[in-house]
A and B are shown apart, each in its own frame.
Chain A
Amino acid sequence: MATIEYAANVEVELSAVATTLKIPAGVLAGFGAGDRFEIELDESGPSILLVVDGRPFAIASVAKLDDRLVATITEIVSNVDREGYEPWLIRKSETAKP
Chain B
Amino acid sequence: MSSRTAQSHSAPAPQRYELWRPVIGSEDRGALERIHQELAAEWSRGPLERGDDGGAVAFEGFGFEDFGRFGKTMRTAQVAFFAIEDTPVAGMLMLGIDLARDLVDARLGAPASAAPVAFSPLEIGLLHQVLNQLAERLAEVYRREGIGKLEVTRVSGQIDDLRLFAPDDCLIVFRFRVGEKGSALRLSIATGLEMIELVKKLAGASRPVPASQAVARIVREIPVRTRVILGSWRLPLREVAVLKRGDSIVLPDGADAWLEAEGTKLGHVKIGIDRWQLTVEAPSGKSSPVR
Closest chain A CB from B68 CB (angstroms): 54
Interface size class of A (residues with CB under 8 A): 35 or more
Collect the chain B residues with CB atoms within 8 Å of residue A74's CB: 245
Residue of chain A at shortest CB distance from B218:
A25
Q: Are B248 and A46 in contact (CB under 8 A)?
A: no
Q: Are A33 and B233 in contact (CB under 8 A)?
A: no
What's the Cα separation between A52 and B5 when bound, in Å?
92
Q: Are B240 and A14 in contact (CB under 8 A)?
A: yes
Closest chain A CB from B239 CB (angstroms): 8
Collect the chain A residues with CB atoms within 8 Å of residue B263's CB: 54
- With beta carbons under 8 angstroms apart, the residue of A20, A26, A36, A71 that contacts B279 is A36
Q: Are B277 and A39 in contact (CB under 8 A)?
A: yes
- With beta carbons under 8 angstroms apart, the residue of A19, A32, A72 that contacts B228 is A19
Q: Are B247 and A73 in contact (CB under 8 A)?
A: yes
Q: Are A62 and B237 in contact (CB under 8 A)?
A: no
What's the Cα separation between A52 and B261 when bound, in Å?
16
What's the Cα separation between A87 and B242 when bound, in Å?
33
- With beta carbons under 8 angstroms apart, the residue of A7, A39, A48 that contacts B230 is A48
Closest chain A CB from B216 CB (angstroms): 9
Q: Which residues of A contact B (CB under 8 A)?
A: 1, 4, 7-26, 28-29, 31-41, 45-46, 48, 50, 52, 54, 57-58, 60, 62, 64, 68-76, 85
New A-B contacts (19) at CB < 8 Å, excluding given A24-B223, A70-B248, A75-B245 = A4-B238, A8-B237, A8-B238, A12-B236, A14-B235, A16-B251, A18-B228, A18-B254, A25-B220, A29-B220, A34-B281, A41-B277, A58-B243, A62-B251, A71-B248, A72-B247, A73-B246, A73-B248, A73-B249
